[in-house]
Amino acid sequence: MEFNEIVVKESPGLCRCCLSEGCYKDLGTEYTWMNETEVYADMLLECFDISITQHNEGPNGPNRLICEVCITRLRDACNFKKQVMDSEKKFIDMMGRGEFRPKMLIYQTQMKCEDPVVEQIENANVEYLEDEIEFGDDDLLKDSDSVEASVSDITVSALPIKGKRGRPRKATPVKPEKRAKVAKMEDKPKTSKAVAKENQDTEEKLIEKQRKDDLTRLITVILENSTILPFRWSANKYMCYFCCCSFIDSSKLKQHTIEEHKDAKLRNLLRTLVSRSRVKLDTSEIICKRCNRQFLSFDEFLDHLSLLHELKFKKELTDCLFTFNLSDDGMSCHDCGQEFRFFGPLLKHAHKYHNRYKTYLCEICGQGFVAKANVDSHIRNVHSFSSGQCTKCDKVFRNNYALQIHFEKTHKTEMLKCPKCPEILASKYLKKRHLALEHDDKKLQFNCDECNRVFTMKSRLVQHKLRTHLKQKTVACEICGFKVFNNDLLRRHMVRHNDTRPFECEYCKKTFQRKKTLEVHKRIHTNDRRYMCKECGRAFVQVTSWKLHMRVHHGGTEGASWH
């Protein structure tokens, strides 16, 4: 597109590098990518010596914006520049150490042959001079006697052949000092621990680079020839694999990926995005784009591409891929079939039990992790006993993680203080709930589309819709067939099939099956009448007794409440 044909609109924004429209990132703001801080304006200035001007008027106002595609190309350019500079520095260091110096063979004793003089002259590597160079009479060999006289006591060493036409130059003897130096260099062992380690590191880098290229090829073939979509998962939200936009629902993630990145140059993007961690793929719908055939199995689809369409890739690298059938109504594990309502618990389950590629194990408890950094964090938080004592109240905890939770709840009031009012909450969840309900923070709210209820957690919203609107009970008791909404309610129900009564009242020695029933029973002994009728002032121990009283004496509980 010619620049004269570009029409600039006032919203939502304009990329200053390619003039494409969209909601983009600011050039002067710090962003985090792969645990590194990036400022795109500084990267442009450092890599290309280009400074983007700033104008208060225009589509962006005072902001200077850049799109994700240009960010990827800029990141590649900076990495390539760094690679070239590192290679040049390493080459100069290798030249300084003499690693490219030609090796010379020194014969300590003269080799036996029928004609020593002829043998030396014939085996010597001759360096030729240009035809234009003129020589004096003294430089020419007179006769064979003079040749024999001049070379009889000289040990000839091999010189590199330059392959040029012309007259040969006389072989010059090697100086004793240089001969000793070369011999010393030859006597030094060629392999040492440092050289072996350097060679091993180089070999590992080459293997890793080849693995990354093969994995990029595999994912490119899959995405270009099917409806399979890659994605990420961070902070309990789905993320677009290409631009890192976050979504709560998997359906919105799929719609965004199909609409925004359908024309993406996959091979160039994947080369920079593929890392050591396993790539997550959504295989809820597998349709071959070449023949429009639909598949239910991911392995069956790969065999189809290899046999029918003759595409070349390494199928064994599928161990580096995680496949999921994303759905907002629940999903199951591909390996064992265990069902999950949300993706977070499913991902933890897959990492713990079905991670076949480079599983890093904790040496203390044997738990598996996808990366070494996760193992280090696990050991530091769970198995470390170095600093288990609180410096504020001298309480002792079994590990640093428990100490950190105690410190945040008890002493770190700044983290639990509401930023919009003076109130201090008891936990992070209560702070989040307070911001969502009291200050109407839309980012922390999950609204029910059937009624006006608002929740601060998506799991609570899903449970509310299943219970209140869908009346769906999916968990059944194996003994009596009684159905409940979730496993927690099933555990409470299973008490009915158990004759044990482990909870005993300390006043009357009466036993109960549930702890909650015991606590309600104790109110009789302590005269705890917390439910009081506002109409007549009568108090009750249990809320059920209060409701019965309201229905009998005051015409129902609608609009009524207790003190």
Element (H, E) at 25: strand 25-26
Q: At 563, which CATH number? A: 3.30.160
| Overall average pLDDT of the 523-548 stretch | 81
| Overall average pLDDT of the 383-393 stretch | 67
Q: Are 328 and 419 part of one and the same domain?
A: no
pLDDT in tens, 320-370: 788 999 988 888 888 888 888 888 888 888 877 777 665 667 777 766 666
In a domain? residue 47: yes
| Residue 387 banded pLDDT, cuts 50, 70, 90 | low
What pLDDT shows up at residue 272?
Answer: 65
Is 336 a known ligand-binding residue?
no
Amino acid (one-letter) located at 513: Q
Q: Are 304 and 436 part of one and the same domain?
A: no
- d(C-alpha 482, C-alpha 494), whole Å: 10
- Which residues are paired to 66 by β-bridges? 25
What is the overall mean pLDDT for the chain? 75
What pLDDT shows up at residue 113?
Answer: 46
Q: Are 225 and 347 part of one and the same domain?
A: yes
Q: Are 231 and 349 part of one and the same domain?
A: yes
Q: Of residues 177 and 371, which shows the higher confidence score?
A: 371
In a domain? residue 237: yes
Provide φ and ψ at 10, rounded to 5°: -80, -15
What pLDDT shows up at residue 300?
Answer: 92
In percent, how much of the chain has pLDDT > 70? 72
Is 23 a known ligand-binding residue?
no
pLDDT in tens, 222-256: 988 999 998 988 777 888 888 888 888 888 899 99
pLDDT in tens, 395-405: 777 777 777 77
Please identify, among 317, 342, 358, the residue that sits at the C-terminal boundary of a domain: 358
- d(C-alpha 452, C-alpha 540), whole Å: 32
- d(C-alpha 47, C-alpha 81), whole Å: 7
Q: What is the number of other CB atoms lying within 10 angstroms of the CB of residue 257?
A: 22
In a domain? residue 161: no
- d(C-alpha 425, C-alpha 40), whole Å: 38
- List Cα–Cα distances, 494 to 476, 477, 537, in angstroms: 11, 8, 38
What pLDDT shows up at residue 558?
Answer: 52
Domain that holds residue 535: 529-563
In a domain? residue 535: yes
- d(C-alpha 75, C-alpha 80), whole Å: 9
Task: Report the SS3 class of residue 469.
Answer: helix
Q: Are 232 and 306 part of one and the same domain?
A: yes
Amino acid (one-letter) located at 120: Q
Q: Are 311 and 215 part of one and the same domain?
A: yes
Is 480 a known ligand-binding residue?
no
Supply 120's token pair: 């030396």
DSSP tally for the chain: helices H, then strands E: 18, 23
Please identify, among 441, 462, 493, the residue that sits at the C-terminal boundary of a domain: 441
The strand pair at 321-324 and 279-282 is best described as parallel
The strand pair at 246-247 and 237-240 is best described as antiparallel
Q: Are 299 and 422 part of one and the same domain?
A: no
Task: Report the SS3 class of residue 224.
Answer: helix
pLDDT above 50 (res 58): yes
In a domain? residue 315: yes
What does the buried/exposed string (b/e) look like for 314-335 if buried means 16 or more CB atoms within 10 Å of the residue's CB? eeebbebbbbbebeeeebebbe
- Which residues are paired to 488 by β-bridges? none
Is 393 a known ligand-binding residue?
no
- d(C-alpha 42, C-alpha 250), whole Å: 35
- d(C-alpha 431, C-alpha 410), whole Å: 14
- d(C-alpha 374, C-alpha 360), whole Å: 9
In a domain? residue 387: no
In a domain? residue 457: no
Q: Are 232 and 321 part of one and the same domain?
A: yes
What pLDDT shows up at residue 367?
Answer: 67
- d(C-alpha 226, C-alpha 240), whole Å: 18
Task: Please name the residue ranges forming H helices in 465-563.
Answer: 487-493, 515-526, 543-553
Q: Are 218 and 345 part of one and the same domain?
A: yes
- d(C-alpha 313, C-alpha 219), whole Å: 9
Q: Are 223 and 350 part of one and the same domain?
A: yes
| Overall average pLDDT of the 378-394 stretch | 69
In a domain? residue 397: no
pLDDT above 80 (res 443): no
Domains: count for the chain: 4
Q: Are 214 and 78 part of one and the same domain?
A: no
pLDDT above 80 (res 426): no
What pLDDT shows up at residue 496?
Answer: 82
User: Which 8-state DSSP code applies to residue 468?
Assistant: I
pLDDT above 80 (res 384): no
Q: Among the ranges 73-82, 261-270, 363-372, which has the highest mean pLDDT value?
A: 73-82
Q: Of residues 161 and 306, which shows the higher confidence score?
A: 306
Q: Are 294 and 420 part of one and the same domain?
A: no
Q: Of residues 562 and 411, which shows the higher confidence score?
A: 411
pTM higher than 0.85, yes or no?
Answer: no
Please identify, among 441, 459, 479, the residue that sits at the C-terminal boundary of a domain: 441
